[in-house]
Structure 1
């Protein structure tokens, strides 16, 4: 993932304006394509930073939020059998999945910052972000799945792959 573009390319004033625009509630906008691009850029930058992090630091030692333990316990309590190594779109987007995800996510409203913010999530945790390997998820879904992947050793493949190339 190259970092030649994104929010950094906007410069300090542009990035500040983008951050302000993205902090406003969704109701403040109609279908504004510029806002959609800014959201996409912010999600891409988050994905890039996260992938670089798990590539350079042993994921078992990462703490993504102040509430990692609570998020993990709640996630695995509800999603005991979810294959987090290789997610399918239906695991997050089907009507049946949404019935379970919605209450899970909502329990973190006001507790986890930007819990419902749009974030990019890898489907196959052993591969990089790409068009085919990425799904749009809420921030709390990202945290739940990535905390579990880190604790259960699924992100080790990224770390060891990048480490062996060094």
Structure 2
């Protein structure tokens, strides 16, 4: 995932202003297009860091939160039959999917910081973040699916392909 601009193009002042703006409550903005751009940049930056991480470190050994065990156990109890490779966006976005995810997500309110913030999630975990391979999900959905992918070895092909190229 290469980035020539991203947050670095904002400079120190711009990033500081963006961080401050993103810490304000949503009611302070309405539908401000600049805010949407800042959120998109923050989500992209998170995706870029995560992809670089799973490219550099064997994902089976990654710990994404202090609550990985709880998230994984709860996720697999609630979604034992959900295929996470590839991920079907309807499982998250359909009305039925949203109803099933809501109680799962809400149990992490106060446990995982910003559990309901938006983040980017890959549909096919053997591929990079691209427009056609990415959906918008909540942070706790990202953690649940990516922790499962890491523990179940599904993100290993990314690491293996990057480490094979280094040899």
Residue-by-residue CA offset, 1:135-166 (whole Å, 9 max, x unaligned): 00000000000000000000001111111111
Mapped to 1, the partners of 2:114 and 2:8 lie a distance apart of 21
1:44-59 paired onto structure 2 within 5 Å: 44-59=44-59
Q: State the shift of 1:5 in Å.
A: 1.3
Q: Which residue of 1 aligns with 2:83?
A: 83
| Partner Cα separation in structure 1 for residue 7 and residue 14 of structure 2 | 8
Gaps (5+ residues) in structure 2?
none
Root-mean-square deviation (CA, aligned residues, Å) is 0.7
What residue ranges of structure 1 are gaps of 5+ in the alignment? none
Query: Is 2:43 aligned against 1:43?
Result: yes
Provide the C-alpha distance between the structure 2 equivalents of 1:79 and 1:23, rounded to a whole number of angstroms.
32
Q: Which residue of 2 aligns with 1:92?
A: 92
CA displacement at 1:61 relative to structure 2: 0.5
Q: Secondary structure at the match of 2:131?
A: coil
Give the equivalent residue in structure 1 for 2:6.
Answer: 6
Query: If the length of structure 2 is used for normalisation, what is the TM-score?
Result: 0.97
Q: TM-score, normalised by structure 1?
A: 0.98
- How many residues align? The count is 166
